Amino acid sequence: MERKLITNQNTATPLKDILTQQNEWESQIDFCMSCGKCISVCPLSGYAEMEPRIAVRLVLLGQEQELINNDWIFQCTSCDRCSYVCPMEVKIGRLITMARSLRMREDLPGKAQLTCELHNTKGNNMQIGEEDWLDTVDWMKEELQGDIPELQVPIDKQDATYFATINSKLPQYHPDELQHIYKIFHAAKANWTLPSVWWEGTNYCMFSGDLNLWEENLRKQVKKVEELGCSVMAYTECGHGYFATLDGYRKFGIKPKFEVIHVVNLYARWIAEGKFKLDPSRNAGKKVTLHDPCNAGRKAVMNEYRDIMEDSRYVLDNVCPDWIEMWPNREYNYCCSGGGGSLISGFVNARNHYGKIKVEQIDRTEAEYVCTPCVNCFDGISDLAKEYKRPWNSIHLWKLLANAIVVD
């Protein structure tokens, strides 16, 4: 008897069509063997009926609209542990992003689309105006000049080497964190600048699946960097923004006239070059563990971008004598529960569910601080500490480095 694959032949399949074409979205979903290895590593597994294997089957069987309408695609953080362990190299993260792109914009959960649109119209996610931004930059500069009188924070400096991006959560909620960034660039004697506009160090349009605005936001920032004549974009501690930038350049055929380097890679380079006078004893007594951001770690490796995993450890080795590894780590690390933009999707119960594994990881280290070289990870892990009533706190890598830097 002839065997046939039964599909819904009367339904358009735009998701399947693009995922199975030879392009930047090709996902190899037709190689899936339904072995279930993806489920075994998914921290969201068990929370909902949907899971990676079912998602792939729905697309292959022409029932992709069921997946597109399912909120699971926004509860998922696109951490890509599933894709990393897949023996057939199915790119489930790409499937998730494209499924989100086909959801009607007015039906998106939480503030994902609003944040994306604010970035496009205001130049940053928090709709901070240029005057308020510059006032905050000056305010933090003047405070730090009490300790470092000669410190300067250039704005729109023409032909600076480094164009520094800043996650908008810092000026909005944590302006004091800017001082650590200033101190590092100052101590390295870097030729750098902050821009007056288009300084945002993330791009939530990748999370919302708004491909048009994802590309448009990237191109607007590229234009600003090139207008200033900078040769390097020093990307801030935001894994999502870093990956969304590099992957967006590739997917949309953007060819910038500058290099993108994650600031953690710069920290490591500057330490190796002897740019800093360091006193790691200033961080003594802080029992620290390290969280590897998915986007700047595992996903960077999978997509052949430069990752920050070994450089994060090199920096900690030089500035923090009491740090301890978390297990599993590096490419096998678990998501912070806030990755990829899920902090703004509104699914708190889902985040708390898959965050339990992260909590158990941290607990085993008995650390007091979790070093999170990513603003979203910082918030995600802070939220888990509150939810599970844990004593540990998140801390940025830039804070540990700045604290160890001795400025004569």
Provide the pLDDT for residue 114.
Answer: 92
Could you tell me if 117 and 109 are in contact, meaning their C-beta atoms sit under 8 angstroms apart?
no
Q: Which of 179-188, 225-234, 260-269, 321-330 has the lowest mean pLDDT?
A: 321-330
Q: For residues 125 and 343, what is the distance between their CA atoms, to the nearest angstrom?
A: 13
Provide the pLDDT for residue 7.
Answer: 46
Task: Check pLDDT > 70 for residue 6.
Answer: no
Task: Check pLDDT > 90 for residue 370.
Answer: yes
Provide the pLDDT for residue 3.
Answer: 44
| Confidence (pTM) | 0.94
Q: For residues 172 and 192, what is the distance between their CA atoms, to the nearest angstrom?
A: 22
* pLDDT > 90 in the chain, percent: 86
Q: Where are the domains of the chain?
A: 14-103, 113-404
Could you tell me if 248 and 221 are in contact, meaning their C-beta atoms sit under 8 angstroms apart?
no
Provide the pLDDT for residue 56.
Answer: 94
Task: Check pLDDT > 90 for residue 155.
Answer: yes
Mean pLDDT of the chain: 93
Provide the pLDDT for residue 11.
Answer: 63
Q: For residues 107 and 160, what is the distance between their CA atoms, to the nearest angstrom?
A: 43
Q: Write out pLDDT tens, residues 63-101.
A: 999 999 999 999 999 999 999 999 999 999 999 999 999
Q: For residues 281 and 366, what is the distance between their CA atoms, to the nearest angstrom?
A: 20
Rounded mean pLDDT, 330-343? 88
Question: From start to end of 136-269, where are the E strands?
Answer: 162-164, 192-193, 232-235, 259-262
Task: Check pLDDT > 70 for residue 124.
Answer: yes
Q: For residues 262 and 311, what is the distance between their CA atoms, to the nearest angstrom?
A: 10
